[in-house]
Amino acid sequence: MTTTQTSSTATVFAPERGRGLLLGGLAVAVVAALATTLVAALLRAVGVDFDLPDGGESIPLMGFTTVTFGFSVVGVALAAALRRWSRHPRTTFVRVTVALTALSLVPPFFQDADAGTVVGLVLLHLTAAAIVIPALARRLGD
C-alpha cells in the first residue's frame, strides 16, 4: 500500500520556476520596450512632441525603449521577490504594480508640456503596464 504525504506549508522557491519567471519576464520586458517605442514613434508621427521641459530637446525614441525595459526588469525583480516571500504573490504583485502605475501617471501633469505630450506620456505608461502587469501576474501563483 502506498501513501502520499501532503504538506500545508508554503511552496519553496524552485530554481526552475525562478528561471521561467526570469526568462519570461525578460521577454515581456523586451516586448513592452518595443511596444512603447512603436507607440512613441506613432505619436511623434501624428505631431506629438516629447520635448524636455528645461532643454527643449525631444526625448529620443531609444529613451522610451531604455526606460521601459529598465522599469520592466524592476517589475520582474519585484515579481521574483514576491514569489519567494509573499503568501499571495499574484495578488500582491497586481496591487503594488497598479498602484505604482497610478503614481507614474501623475508627473506628466506637472511638466511644462502641451496637452498632447501629457496625454502621450500617460498613454505610454499605460501601454507598458498593460503588457507587463498581466504577463508577469500570470507567471505568479497564489
Q: Using one digit for the tens of pLDDT, what is the confidence trace for 15-59?
A: 445 678 999 999 999 999 999 999 999 999 999 989 876 667 889
Q: In 3-state terms, what secondary structure has residue 58? A: strand
Q: What angle do CA 110, 40, 59 make, to 5 degrees?
A: 60
pTM of this structure: 0.84
* Mean pLDDT computed over 89-118: 94
Average pLDDT, the chain: 88
Domains of the chain, residue spans: 25-138
Q: At what angle do helices 15-45 and 115-138 cross, to 10 degrees?
A: 160
Please, are residues 20 and 139 in contact by the beta-carbon 8 Å criterion? yes
